[in-house]
Amino acid sequence: MARPKPEPVQVIKKRRDAALRQLVGAVPYIGFLGVTFERRGDELTGILAYDEKNIGNPLLPALHGGVTGAFLEITAITELAWSMIWERIESGGEEAERLEAGGMVSLPRTIDFTVDYLRSGLPRDAYARARITRSGRRYASVQVEGWQDNRDKPFIQATGHFMMPRFDRG
């Protein structure tokens, strides 16, 4: 029996980008804050574009702590959801087409989220990456780090625990 011909890389990239757009677009608050995601393979980087409305203390000026905390929580949840759908996106076929068309899975729900404010966020773009430290059927733990000009100098970090949505494989 002949092996199926591999899909062109452009088709796979298009499917990945469409699924990420659907995932991020499903939460209006993400768009309100101006958060976007840059994808390199299976790695996501959250980007909080500078916007005057996100300034909390105009005298410094500094980014609002609630905005930066929410940015890290959004990054953690998006990373978890992305990890849940990654294999289905990569496999192609009917399931991947459904995801690309907007049939997304339920998002993980926050159990707790602890934020460490290391220094003031400057009035400029911010970036974040999340790392899943434990992921099971019911529960996941994620660490997130946010930086601005230099990734080695984070201005905020967080740890979160999430209830995973039920996911039946068929």
Residue 27 is classified by DSSP as -
Q: Where are the domains of the chain?
A: 9-169
> Could you read off the pLDDT of 74-103 as tens digits, one per residue?
999 999 999 888 777 777 666 666 666 666
Q: How far apart are the C-alpha atoms of 148 and 48, rounded to whole Å?
A: 10
CATH number of the structural domain 9-169: 3.10.129.10
Mean pLDDT score, 153-165: 97
Sheet holding 126-135, edge to edge: 35-40, 43-48, 126-135, 139-147, 156-163, 109-117
Condensed to tens digits (0 to 9), the pLDDT of residues 39-77 reads 987 799 999 999 999 999 889 899 999 999 999 999 999
According to the model, what pLDDT value does residue 170 have?
41
Length of the chain measured in residues: 170
- The gap between the terminal CA atoms of the chain, to the nearest Å, is 26
